[in-house]
Each structure stands twice: as C-alpha cells, then as structure tokens.
C-alpha cells in the first residue's frame, strides 16, 4: 500500500533535505566532542549521512576533510560521480547490505560532489576483517555497512589526517548473529588459529584413534571430526576424515600439518 493510499507521508531514507539535515547533526556532535578533528571517514549508501556530516562540519571548519566509503561490489556513488549523472547499478549481494544502494539520490549526488572530499571503495573481505577487529579489539559489534570506514583506514584506501584527529563513523550494529559467527570463524582461519583439514585413514578399528592421538600430541584442540565416506575417490577399506582444529597461530598450524605428513597422512586444507 502506498503512503498516499494509507493517508501517511512518505519519508525518503536519504534523498530529502530534512533527512540530510537530521543526519548532519552527527557532524555537529563530532565538532563538539572532538575539537581537533582533522578528517572524518563515513559510510556512503544513498549519500544522506555523508553529505549531511560534510555540510555540518565544513560550514564551521572547512579545513576538515570528509572521506566517504562504499563497498566495491555496489559503489553507486562513485560510478555516478565519475559519469557525471545518476547511475543505477544492478543489485548485488554484500556483507554491507545497509549501504548496498543501487543509486544515490538526485539531491545527495550533488551534495556529495560539492561537499565530500573523496569517496573510496573497499572489498568485501576487508569489511569482514574490520568487523572482527572491531569486535576483538574494541568490543564493538558493528554491521558491515558500519564497518566500511574502519576497513578503508585499515586497508589504506583512506589515510589518517596529517593534522588533527581522524574520526571513523561506525554507523550501525544491526548484524545477524549467524553472519557474525561466520565472519569470526573465517577470521580465525585466515589468522591460522582455526585449521580445517581433510585426510584419509584405514577403515579399521583404531585408525581414527591413532590419528587423533597424534593430533593431541601436537597441542592442537580438536573442535570437530567427521567421517566422509561419499563423494571422494576412496579405496573400499579407506575412509576420509574431516577435522577442524584450534591452534595457537600460523607457526603452530604449520607444525600440525608437518607432524601429520611425517606420520604418513596425506593432508589437504579445507576453506
């Protein structure tokens, strides 16, 4: 049902001067809370937040730079600014779904062009890493759309201010618990603290126990173990074993692999 048919007013999520002005109050708070602010890095979806913050801050402190950040799989503002007109992109699945907007607004595009110093893009993997870093180091649960600024700073797409404090806007914490767990597991794997392996053992009594004893002696913690008997080219008296281990880091993980190989096991990493 449309807003008109229901007798209610439609409020655009970003392409509205009142919405832009309301979001710009964040910039006023930053000026009050961080008097020496030199650069603000802010997520860009439709462009309301970034343009509002830029207008509020630069109207008082024009020397402060404002850098917008989009995720690279759907960077509509960057494409539109480059084309000199609104570009409508195809929808894309993104971990930063809160800013996965197909096009900026007519109002916000012009405001971004006039007030925001630059807009950069970050890859999905960097956003996931930033989410985990914020959770581990800062104890902050931040959704993908809110973590793009931190991802840009960590990845070098945006650089800190040479004069004054750099502020990164973390614009939301609406993240599904399952996604957050998946991102954390992926980070553990990338850091070498979570090791997923596939190997083969004889399908005889005691074969699995021997494998697990060797793993236990390495000091790795067994998280999961599963027999895999289908979908692989196995001998009739052979079974595959899928293992998920917790290790102390990359060196320990390499040591576990080497120990298994030295014991005669053919080891394959799983991702």
Instruction: Measure Cα distances from 162 to 65, 75, 150, 159, 268 in Å.
Output: 11, 27, 17, 9, 47
Please give the Cα distance from 47 to 154 (Å, whole number): 22
Tokens of 57: 């801050």
Reported as a single tens digit per residue, the pLDDT across 226-248 is 887 766 677 667 888 899 999 98
Look at residue 152 in the predicted model and tell me its pLDDT: 97
Fold of 11-186: Rossmann fold (3.40.50)
Where in the chain are the domains?
11-186, 191-269
Per-residue pLDDT, 236: 66
Mean pLDDT across 27-54: 97
Say how far apart CA 95 and CA 123 lie, in whole Å: 10
Res 40 pLDDT > 90: yes
Q: Exposure of 267 by Cβ count < 10 A (0-12 exposed, 13-18 middle, 19+ buried)? A: middle
Please state the length of the chain. 271
Per-residue pLDDT tens over the stretch 195-219: 889 998 888 889 899 999 999 999 9
Fold of 191-269: Alpha-Beta Plaits (3.30.70)
Record the tokens describing residue 3, joined without a space.
């807003």
Res. 249: pLDDT tops 90: no
Q: Residue written as tokens 């102390």?
A: 248
**Each residue's pLDDT tens digit, 124-173:** 999 999 999 999 899 999 999 999 999 999 999 999 999 999 999 999 89
Is the model more confident about 62 or about 249? 62
Whole-model pTM?
A: 0.78
Please state, in angstroms and rounded to a whole number, the distance separating the CA atoms of residues 11 and 147. Answer: 26
Least confident window among 45-49, 50-54, 110-114, 225-229: 225-229
């Amino acid at each position: 049902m449309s807003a008109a048919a229901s007798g209610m007013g439609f409020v655009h999520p970003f392409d509205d001067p009142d919405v832009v002005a309301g979001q710009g109050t964040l910039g006023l708070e930053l000026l009050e809370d961080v008097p020496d602010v030199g650069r603000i890095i802010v997520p860009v979806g439709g462009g309301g937040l970034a343009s509002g913050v830029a207008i509020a801050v630069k109207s008082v402190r024009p020397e402060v730079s404002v850098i917008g950040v989009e995720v690279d799989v759907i960077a509509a503002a960057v494409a539109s600014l480059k084309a000199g007109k609104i570009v409508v992109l195809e929808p894309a699945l993104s971990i930063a779904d809160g800013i996965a907007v197909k096009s900026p607004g007519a109002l916000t595009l012009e405001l971004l062009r006039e007030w925001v110093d630059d807009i950069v893009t970050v890859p999905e993997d960097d956003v996931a890493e930033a989410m985990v870093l914020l959770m581990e180091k800062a104890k902050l649960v931040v959704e993908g759309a809110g973590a793009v600024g931190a991802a840009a700073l960590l990845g070098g797409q945006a650089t800190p201010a040479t004069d004054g404090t750099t502020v990164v806007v973390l614009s939301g914490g609406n993240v599904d618990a399952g996604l957050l767990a998946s991102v954390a597991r992926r980070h553990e794997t990338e850091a070498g603290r979570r090791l997923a392996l596939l190997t083969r053992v004889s399908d005889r009594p005691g074969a699995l126990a021997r494998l697990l004893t060797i793993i236990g002696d390495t000091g790795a913690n067994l998280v999961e173990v599963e027999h895999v008997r289908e979908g692989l080219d196995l001998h009739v008296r052979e079974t595959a074993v899928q293992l998920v281990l917790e290790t102390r880091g990359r060196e320990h993980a390499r040591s576990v692999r080497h120990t298994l190989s030295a014991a005669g096991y053919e080891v394959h990493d799983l991702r």
